[in-house]
Structure 1
Amino acid sequence: MKIAANRGYLAGNCLGMFKLTDEVAFTVARSSGPWLWSSDGRRYADYVMGAGPMVLGHAHPNVVSAITEQATRGTHYFLVHERAQELAAKICRLVPCAELVRFCSDGSEANFYALRLARAFTRRTKVLKFDGGFHGHSDYGQQKRRAESCCNDQRPVAESAGIPPEISETVVLATYNDIERTRLIVEPVAHEIAAIIVEPVQRALMPAPGFLEGLRELADSIGALLVFDEVVTGFRLALGGAQEHFGVTPDLCALGKILGGGTPLAAVAGRADILELAISGRRKDGRTAMVSGTLNGNPLGCAAGLATLAVVEDLGVPALLKKAGEAVAVGLHEIAHRLSIPLQTIGPPAAQQVVFTERSIDSVAALAAAPRAALDHFATEMTRRGVFFGPTKLYVSIAHTDEVHSLFFEQAEGALRAVRDQGLLG
């Protein structure tokens, strides 16, 4: 009765945008490795992994030990501490663009601060982003193309209520992977663009050959900063993130998810001459940017991040995630083929997305045209069968063994049959 009564105090009985359907919803009691246990004792194989941070699995002993030890030394200081200094140094060693770091609490903040720094540095106001890219909850990140847009109308509109329409006037939208069209869109407002912000892998869309290089050249040619949103790709595609993997170095990047090892920690990192604008007490030239917060660089988060990145580096975790993700993709494709179900996985194996179509997915429009109802039903059916599976990304960890994958495949066959039998494949 106590659990049921408590459901009334959380708005929507969820923590944000994601919520399981009522028929399969459960409350988490604990987790370990690749498993979640509900408050009524059911066990779930977890292929969401906290939406990506838990690459070592839940409750990894190194991370638990680091947090426990730090907790005995204090959970918050509001001052520089050893763990923050050590983690900042590690970031600057691993991430190509990182010369200085400023910590914050989540990836949305890191993206927001990166854009603020870009505006302060360039003394410009507009930001170029790509339609369908997700950069968090800030007013600038929550911008999309108008439903009535055509090729001559690129004006954005806010995705969320509560955002002044004036904010939309500071955002320019382009199409991911179309560098020529992006150049044409930028040309009339090039002198106003402070930053080009992009997910190097936009959701699950891989960059076309030359696209990221083209953005680097475009930013340089117009005097704007290139910002990589590496909240998902950071430390996942390579130790140095997507910028190392693809060989394109931005001016700034936003880091999160893996960085905090499952705690609320993120960072904006990049060129020293840009990050120095966040230093209070610098000369008064109108360019000092406020990048601060009570819990920035929280010692528990920094301890968890250091422990996580130590394992990531020591074991070569990006390669292990790639191998695990490829195994899942191969097995899922084999089942779908056997059942005559059109299915593919897109994106990097470590953070891929299931799509119910055999058509090429090379754009936001193509992805939007795929049967979403089928994906949602598949996720529900998997969760019903004891595999927690989200409809956006399939995340793996080094704790996902062949035994766990076998359970995934066993339940996926029944879930896919249910999708097919519901007639949701278009």
Structure 2
Amino acid sequence: MHTAAPRSSLAGNSLGAFKLPDEVAFTVARGNGPWLWSSDGRRYVDYVMGGGPMVLGHAHPKVVSAITEQAAMGTHYYLMNERAQELAAKICQLVPCAQSVRFCSDGSEANFFALRVARAFTRRTKVLKFDGGFHGHSDYAQQKARAELGHNDQRPIAESAGIPPEISETVVIAPYNDIEHTRQIVEPIAREIAAIIVEPVQRAFLPAPGFLEGLRTLADSIGALLVFDEVVTGFRLALGGAEEYFGVAPDLCALGKILGGGTPLAAVAGRADVLDVLVTGRADDGRSALMSGTLNGNPLCCAAGLATLAVIEELNAPVILKHKGEALATGLREIANRLSVPIQVIGPPAVQQVVFGSGRMDTVQAVAASRQDAARRWGFEMIRRGIFCGPTKVYVSVAHTEETHGLYLHMADEALRSVRDQGLLD
């Protein structure tokens, strides 16, 4: 008989950095389509969708069937397998920069390995990233991964204990969407920079016209590699991700979330000559790099990824996500205007963020200065009413319907009234 693990068995009673406060926390028993059910029987509309991977909804029958079929043939081999080969070929078919692929287990690893490959290939040590850009949990990624008031300079600041200060010295910080300032930062150290890594859409900030093109030109001019963190945007904005949507191809990209269809799978994709530094037994020219992991290319995960991408391609899911997301954002804006509550919905329709405050919200500093207390309370009030939205980030899936949108907007009206009446907007 299965018994629930004691709360103390998990450090902090959490699976990672994301944790809801006790007042609204719940334990999931199961999910189906756009719905979650808690262990005590409550039902929630899910607009977090596993933090982004569940773009088809929970327990999509074709994904479940693919996982079941593969499980019957074995869940892991530690050898080349057919599903990994098939998924790599599909990535190379869909993603513009992808000539070659290597698998790992999550987006953080993909970004970490992309930077290692870039340093090996260029024989340089420094990485340029953008203020507030989040590229996972590695020591390099955790340099100014979030913006805070009073910290608007471009000094690398480790956001976690346990990171040696020497790591910070290898990371250069620039302001997102400011190509001229970025050029000025790069110019004195151009020959030291191995990679420019960027989220093409940084959290919920769309790239300014010419910004990504400017990064492409800048990387080429200094001999660095351009790395797109497409963990969020991959297969979501377009079948080929942000690089297809914006028409700018990087040298390498990190893929995750949607790629595994809800299983732990990610990949580094890009130029074949660059990824060749990972080839086992290659001639030693001082650039050979290691990318290894026991479960890399796991056939169960690759089967789930193949099934997910097949459905996405069949439905042209990015178009559906755009339309569904636009409808949701428009409805929320109309409610807020009627209630005279100052909110903005920013970001691409498929993955949007609710921000409380007036004025332009197009920089990490502007959002840091917004009414984040009101935004968090609104999210918690939504969860109280059966809408799980993270609390303010919304991932749209093809499984969401007019019914779920209607429930979201009805409860959003109630939750906005509650925030207003609690005086959090005064």
Shorter-normalised TM range:
over 0.9
Is 1:351 the counterpart of 2:360 in the alignment? no
1:146 is displaced (CA, Å) by 8.9
Say which SS state the counterpart of residue 36 (structure 2) adopts. Answer: strand
1:358 is displaced (CA, Å) by 2.5
Say which SS state the counterpart of residue 143 (structure 1) adopts. Answer: coil
Instruction: Please list every run of 5 or more consecutive structure 1 residues that lacks an aligned counterpart in the other structure.
Output: none
Distance 1:424 1:149 in 2: 25
Distance 1:324 1:220 in 2: 38
- What TM-score comes out, normalization by structure 2 length? 0.97
Give the partner amino acid of 2:124.
Answer: R
Residue in 2 aligned with 1:401? Answer: 401
1:4 is displaced (CA, Å) by 7.2
Is 1:228 the counterpart of 2:228 in the alignment? yes
Give the partner amino acid of 2:67.
Answer: I
Distance 1:270 1:216 in 2: 14
Say which SS state the counterpart of residue 84 (structure 2) adopts. Answer: helix
Q: Conserved in 2, the CA contact under 8 Å of 1:146 and 1:157?
A: no
RMSD, aligned α-carbons: 1.3
Matches within 5 A, 1:21-420: 21-144=21-144, 154-420=154-420
State the Cα deviation string for residues 260-306 of structure 1 (Å, max 9, x = none).
00000000000000111101100011111101100001111100000
Say which SS state the counterpart of residue 83 (structure 2) adopts. Answer: helix
Q: Determine what percentage of the aligned residue pairs are the same residue.
A: 75
State the Cα deviation string for residues 96-116 of structure 1 (Å, max 9, x = none).
000000000000000000000
Say which SS state the counterpart of residue 228 (structure 2) adopts. Answer: strand
Q: Conserved in 1, the CA contact under 8 Å of 2:63 and 2:307?
A: yes
Distance 1:25 1:149 in 2: 31
Q: Conserved in 1, the CA contact under 8 Å of 2:261 and 2:304?
A: yes
Distance 1:304 1:170 in 2: 37
Say which SS state the counterpart of residue 177 (structure 1) adopts. Answer: coil
Distance 1:8 1:149 in 2: 36
Give the partner amino acid of 1:104.
Answer: C
Residue in 1 aligned with 2:17? Answer: 17
Say which SS state the counterpart of residue 72 (structure 2) adopts. Answer: helix
Q: Conserved in 1, the CA contact under 8 Å of 2:131 and 2:175?
A: yes
Instruction: Please list every run of 5 or more consecutive structure 2 residues that lacks an aligned counterpart in the other structure.
Output: none
1:391 is displaced (CA, Å) by 3.0
Q: Conserved in 1, the CA contact under 8 Å of 2:127 and 2:195?
A: yes
State the Cα deviation string for residues 307-361 of structure 1 (Å, max 9, x = none).
0000000100000001111111011111111111011110100000001122111
Distance 2:374 2:242 in 1: 30
Give the partner amino acid of 2:259.
Answer: L
Q: Conserved in 2, the CA contact under 8 Å of 1:146 and 1:156?
A: no
Distance 1:373 1:390 in 2: 14
Give the partner amino acid of 2:35.
Answer: W
**When the two structures are aligned, how many residues end up with a matched partner?**
423
